[in-house]
Copies of this chain bind each other. A is one copy, B any other.
């Protein structure tokens, strides 16, 4: 139905002699080149080599850290190695949060150690820590609904569970407990916030991640416990016994630092001043190796441009528009890189913004956010991805987080390739985000998809934007 309606729209548009001066269709040569790119990508293992190198030679790289700077240098060398041009870093100042040592334990009804991780932006406890009775809530909604005084002086615990899902909707439904829980708890007088890790695993490893800061309420220490620890608390809570917890947590907030976006390009030809932007984020949390989040994305988009470059050398066919890769800084805790990019490049016409930041699973669907006249072109891109197992989704898509910031702020159009996230939230924001969780074959499929998207976006006879928001 969707397909048919779009064809009718396009036909109507063409028949009307309307906005589109050129036909909203690709020429055969462009489509043949897309197929070539797909085949080249599937024979290549550059993405695997890149994520292997990034995790092995750099490792975790929180924005503004020495490892972040090393990662930026590494990335520029890697991009030059792929034959790309205009390789550069665009630095920006930011304020970062730094984790210190932290520990939590159950004090009553039984002493038991807890495996935990502070949330990004948490304040420290006093040096001796905080000990208090636990106010237990099954989920964020229950805390929000609580108008009583129960949380006051207590450590609020939110037992929010994360459902496994291919498209990440389980995470989407749960993550508010992490992001908004601390503020909701503080608003009710809590002395600290603890929660079940926002994750789908059952490993004794806690998931970190960013929490919101609201300057109108006191800032309280906040941390996640691992899923088995949350299970333990739930069992004891179920026995009707009051829980008492101790937490000691060191952290520094608002530390002045510098991070950067890393850029590289394949210059366009007749439309070189228009940008087709493929992105990922170079920073990671300080736990794990940043393999799935977002080493895989970095590797995928860099390798996709590498395939375009390789094909250009083989065939002499260069893209009409400039294809640019941007590896954003500080996606994890503030989107400083995306905002800096938007400010610097606000006046530049963007044909596409996009981002690979959902782990290392295979692409299974393609959504978009383009002007209606461009839909036949985007459907034609989807048709090229169909042999790779990709379904066409709607024109209400949202790209990865940095790209979404840009799309919303600048109305730059977007294509979103949805990766299979069934296992992503097992390791997301944890020590377990390591190279061994990456499947090289799935990476290759991602590269093939992005190379096709980049090429056809660059060749399109129509602008994709502005994005209908």
Binding site for B on A (CB under 8 A): 52, 55-60, 67, 70, 109-113, 115, 202-205, 227-228, 231-232, 235-236, 239, 288-289, 430-432, 434-437
Contact = CB atoms under 8 A, between A and B. Distances in A.
Contacts of A57: 109-110
Given A110-B58, A235-B52, A204 B435 contact: no
A365 B445 CA distance: 44
B436 A231 contact: yes
B431 A115 contact: yes
Given A59-B232, A67-B111, A228-B435, 17 more contacts: A56-B110, A56-B232, A56-B239, A57-B110, A59-B111, A60-B113, A70-B110, A203-B203, A203-B205, A203-B432, A204-B205, A227-B436, A228-B289, A228-B434, A231-B435, A231-B436, A232-B434
Contacts of A112: 59-60, 289
Given A56-B235, A235-B52, A204 B431 contact: yes
B436 A228 contact: yes
Contact of A236 (B56, B113, B288, B431): B56
B56 A204 contact: no
A244 to B, nearest CB: 15
Nearest to A58: B110
A163 B431 CA distance: 23
Q: Give the 5 A-B CB pairs with smallest separation, nearest first.
A: A228-B434, A204-B431, A59-B112, A204-B432, A56-B235
Contacts of A437: 202
20 contacts: A52-B235, A56-B110, A56-B235, A57-B109, A58-B110, A60-B112, A60-B113, A115-B431, A202-B436, A202-B437, A203-B203, A204-B288, A204-B431, A204-B432, A205-B205, A205-B431, A228-B289, A231-B434, A232-B289, A232-B434
Nearest to A231: B436
Contacts of A432: 203-204, 228
Nearest to A67: B111
B231 A430 contact: no
Contacts of A239: 56
Contacts of A203: 203, 205, 432
Nearest to A229: B434
A293 B59 CA distance: 33
- Most chain B CB atoms below 10 A, which of A115, A288, A430, A434: A434
